[in-house]
Amino acid sequence: MKKSLLFIISLFFSLAIFAQECSDLFISEYVEGSGNNKALEIYNPTNGDIDLSLYTIRRYSNGSPVFTDEVQLSGTIQAYDVVVVTNGQTDSVWVSNGGYWSLPIDSVLYSLGDLHGSGIYPTAMYFNGNDALTLEKITGEVVDIFGKIGTDPGSNGWNDIPPTYFAGDQFWTSWTKDQTLIRKPAVKNGVAANPEVFMVNVEWDSIAKNDFDSLGYHRCDCGYLGIAQNVFKHSIVMYPNPSTNKTVTISASARIESVSIVNQLGQIVYTENFGSGKDSVVIKGDFFTEGFYFVTTRFVDDSQYVGKLIIR
């Protein structure tokens, strides 16, 4: 079974053409919430600023092989920083041909946006869980794909169940509808060619519907804003992540001197020094509540690593 899974994952990656690591923008977070709570976070994994006017977000609606609408980006994204693009509809709109009210985006989510869609349907920021999305250069070069262009997985979108990875009528298994997804830290570049199969769980972690707390920041092994480059000096694994039992294990290739954990309000909820150091530590406690945390692991050589931990 393990060999088969490894073969499938290897096949998936071999069928896609990937850009050089840490060389171009990619989508780092995906918000598909209730109503028009839609947002994408874009991350710059390079060590230089990038002109966003050279890029556009395109939606391929309901399995369309060609893009149906787009949002042209603007401004500048700094090195190791992110830009958040949200739906721009801030008022309720009566849809006469459907006979319903189209509800506005949550004001909190809108406030987290750096850029916004027009708020007038259609734009790419009216995506649903069965739409493919791309980040493309205005020259037509695709730098990242979410989903699979030309494939409609059904109204409930994609899930993590082979062989189709379509949720079908099992809405409770969906990863791309009513979910927030965060790109895994090990992902260093976008998907540049349409995948044979979209296995969302390979590159993404899933958190709850209408959870916007992690927007505006992305932890990537390429580096991130405000942290010294020696952060990634050692190999380190933090698991499970997300954690559902208020327990996390941190294992590293170097000896761990201390660990401190800060919640999303900036409060230190845990800190411990391990003296001469440990290769692996287990942290468990009722101080963990649902949300996300920043975990700082310091090694005996004074280098450190900061990672994001999600507690469900």
pLDDT in tens, 155-168: 999 999 999 999 98
pLDDT at 310: 87
pLDDT at 131: 97
Using CA atoms, how far residue 98 sits from 37, 73, 95, 102, 282, in Å, is: 19, 30, 5, 10, 53
Domain boundaries, position 17: 2-207
Domain end call among 176, 207, 238? 207
pTM reported for the whole predicted model: 0.69
Shared domain check, 131 and 30: yes
pLDDT at 225: 47
For residues 29-51, average pLDDT: 95
How many CA atoms does the CB half-sphere of 216 hold within 13 Å? 11
Amino acid at 107: S
Shared domain check, 236 and 197: no
Shared domain check, 24 and 148: yes
Please measure the distance between the N-terminal and C-terminal CA atoms of the chain and give it in whole angstroms: 28
pLDDT at 261: 92
Which CATH number covers residue 99?
2.60.40.1260
Mark out the alpha helices in 15-79 (DSSP H runs): none
Domain end call among 172, 207, 242? 207
Q: How many domains does the chain have?
A: 2
Distance separating alpha carbons of residues 57 and 70, to the nearest angstrom:
5
pLDDT band at 265; cut points 50, 70, 90: confident
Query: Could you tell me if residue 169 is inside a domain?
Result: yes
Shared domain check, 182 and 84: yes
Read off the pLDDT of residues 191-205 as tens digits, 9 standing for 90 and up: 999 999 999 999 999
Read off the pLDDT of residues 234-243 as tens digits, 9 standing for 90 and up: 778 888 888 9
